[in-house]
């Protein structure tokens, strides 16, 4: 029996002949393991394997995709239990939070969030009725009752989701104690970290100067010199690599790169280290550090991810009250052709270097990113990201990218999520959209079906493993 919330043919082409091809292709990939090379799940879940607390704190409180929409319609973050920076009181009753969410569920119509939630409700909790004010309490009871069962603990869900490997993302200042605990526990689940150095690379990052001091103390390197600071990165990268990391990740406001002379770089570092830092120096330092990170990647083999183009914390009042990652990050237009040139001039032709580019500016795909990745051996294109992690966003991505970069300069799917229960749904959406796209290439006689089937498996599984060296 089919759950009512999700249809077997969802996201497949409406045309019956093409739909049949898409179904066959999807049949090849629907049971493949999940490779999740980039995301933000909490490693403490897998290390401690404690039950998830309640439906609200699983689905609502930590998920900025959910509360940004509610906030936009006048629902306060306090009433959704989102913690404040100063610890002032917010709603603590999970049932009240869930009811508020349920009575506003219509706001998610047509959004990917709705598809992910319905997929989790149906497949994990056997819920058949649409969430609404009327079904809020019954849904809450069902989810809460299941969450108390041993097979709904993080490790059991990890296995049930058929996750072959998942990457989390940590700061260089993280001691990786949860990854150590996972490794020491004897559990077979593969959880690796990724090196996200923004807290010690971005002078505009909150607490940057304290972070630099901690970075020096942690590594024993003299971070008052640029050489010592770079050595500290090398030491932490090696530590992360020893804990399974195969990649680094850089969340800069722009894709700017620079290739300064050693003397200029040292002088810039001294200005940044001494502070206060001008906006121009902050940008130049981030730019220089992307090139330095590429040089280190060439040495240690870590794959580099660049996630530019998000104007973080756009809402200052919300930021002051609730801190970062609260749904107030807004995409900006992003240049790649000029911005990446200093880095590419040095490393673009390296076949052993892998730099995965993401964008929140879809206009860059056909104009800049696909031509760049379709030329430089060091470049690959990451999947449709964040606001475009949606059926339409994925579809547009394939249409804009494939003609110039092909499929093999792309790297499969990233779920990029902190919402654990959405992981199977997100991968399923990507697999369905790719199968729908491939089915149209078959139906219009641009691909043979055996090639499409091979591609479907590569897009769902093989390319992510290869690109991220997993
Ligand atoms: Zn991410």
**Ligand 1 centroid distance, CA of 328 (Å):** 15
**Ligand 1 centroid distance, CA of 448 (Å):** 35
**Ligand 1 centroid distance, CA of 40 (Å):** 6
**Ligand 1 centroid distance, CA of 433 (Å):** 21
Query: CB–CB of 235/289 below 8 Å?
Result: no
Q: DSSP letters of 360-395?
A: S-THHIIIIIHHHHTT-TTEEEPPS-GGG-SHHHHH
Q: Which H or E run includes 162?
A: none
**Ligand 1 centroid distance, CA of 21 (Å):** 33
End-to-end distance of the chain based on CA atoms, in angstroms?
Answer: 37
Among candidate residues 227, 294, 226, the one with its CA nearest the CA of residue 257: 294
**Ligand 1 centroid distance, CA of 342 (Å):** 25
**Ligand 1 centroid distance, CA of 335 (Å):** 20
pLDDT in tens, the chain (470 residues): 445 799 999 999 999 999 999 999 999 999 999 999 999 999 999 999 999 999 999 999 999 999 999 999 999 999 999 999 999 999 999 999 999 999 999 999 999 999 999 999 999 999 999 999 999 999 999 999 999 999 999 999 999 999 999 999 999 999 999 999 999 999 999 999 999 999 999 999 989 999 999 999 999 999 999 999 999 999 999 999 999 999 999 999 999 999 999 999 999 999 999 989 999 999 999 999 999 999 999 999 999 999 999 999 999 999 999 999 899 999 999 999 999 999 999 999 999 999 999 999 999 999 999 999 999 999 999 999 999 999 999 999 999 999 999 999 999 999 999 999 999 999 999 999 999 999 999 999 999 999 999 999 999 999 999 999 99
**Ligand 1 centroid distance, CA of 78 (Å):** 25
Residue 179's SS3 state is: helix
**Ligand 1 centroid distance, CA of 39 (Å):** 5
């Amino acid at each position: 029996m089919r759950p009512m919330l999700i249809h077997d043919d969802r996201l497949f082409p409406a045309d019956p002949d093409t739909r049949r091809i898409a179904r066959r292709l999807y049949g090849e990939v629907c049971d493949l393991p999940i490779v999740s090379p980039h995301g933000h799940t909490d490693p403490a879940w897998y290390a401690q394997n404690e039950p998830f607390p309640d439906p609200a704190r699983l689905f609502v409180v930590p998920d900025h995709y959910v509360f940004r929409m509610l906030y936009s319609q006048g629902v306060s973050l306090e009433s959704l239990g989102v913690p404040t920076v100063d610890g002032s009181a917010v709603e603590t009753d999970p049932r009240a939070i869930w009811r508020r969410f349920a009575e506003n569920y219509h706001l998610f119509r047509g959004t990917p969030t709705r598809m992910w939630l319905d997929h989790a409700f149906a497949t994990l909790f056997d819920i058949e009725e649409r969430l609404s004010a009327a079904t809020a309490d019954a849904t809450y009871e069902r989810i809460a009752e299941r969450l108390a069962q041993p097979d709904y603990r993080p490790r059991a869900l990890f296995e049930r989701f058929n996750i072959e490997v998942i990457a989390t993302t940590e700061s260089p200042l993280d001691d990786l104690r949860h990854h150590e605990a996972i490794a020491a526990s004897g559990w077979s689940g593969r959880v690796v970290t990724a090196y996200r150095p923004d807290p010690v690379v971005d002078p505009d990052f909150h607490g940057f100067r304290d972070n630099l001091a901690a970075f020096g103390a942690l590594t024993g390197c003299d971070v008052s010199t640029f050489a010592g600071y770079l050595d500290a990165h090398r030491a932490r990268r090696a530590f992360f690599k020893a804990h399974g990391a195969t990649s680094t990740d850089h969340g800069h406001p722009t894709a700017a790169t620079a290739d300064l002379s050693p003397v200029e770089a040292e002088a810039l570092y001294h200005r940044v280290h001494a502070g206060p830092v001008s906006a121009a120096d902050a940008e130049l330092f981030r730019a220089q550090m992307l090139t330095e990170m590429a040089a280190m990647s060439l040495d240690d083999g870590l794959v580099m991810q660049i996630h530019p183009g998000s104007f973080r914390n756009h809402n200052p009042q919300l930021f002051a009250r609730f801190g970062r990652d609260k749904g107030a990050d807004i995409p900006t237009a992003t240049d790649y052709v000029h911005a990446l040139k200093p880095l590419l001039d040095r490393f673009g032709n390296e076949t052993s270097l892998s730099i995965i580019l993401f964008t929140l500016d879809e206009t860059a795909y056909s104009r800049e990113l696909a031509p760049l990745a379709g030329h430089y051996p060091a470049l690959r294109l990451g999947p449709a990201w964040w606001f475009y992690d949606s059926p339409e966003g994925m579809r547009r991505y394939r249409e804009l990218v494939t003609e110039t970069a092909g499929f093999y300069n792309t790297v499969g799917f990233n779920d990029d999520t902190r919402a654990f229960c959405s992981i199977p749904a997100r991968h399923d959406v990507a697999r369905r959209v790719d199968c729908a796209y491939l089915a149209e290439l078959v139906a219009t006689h641009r691909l043979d079906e055996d090639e499409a089937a091979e591609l479907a498996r590569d897009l769902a599984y093989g390319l992510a493993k290869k690109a991220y060296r997993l």
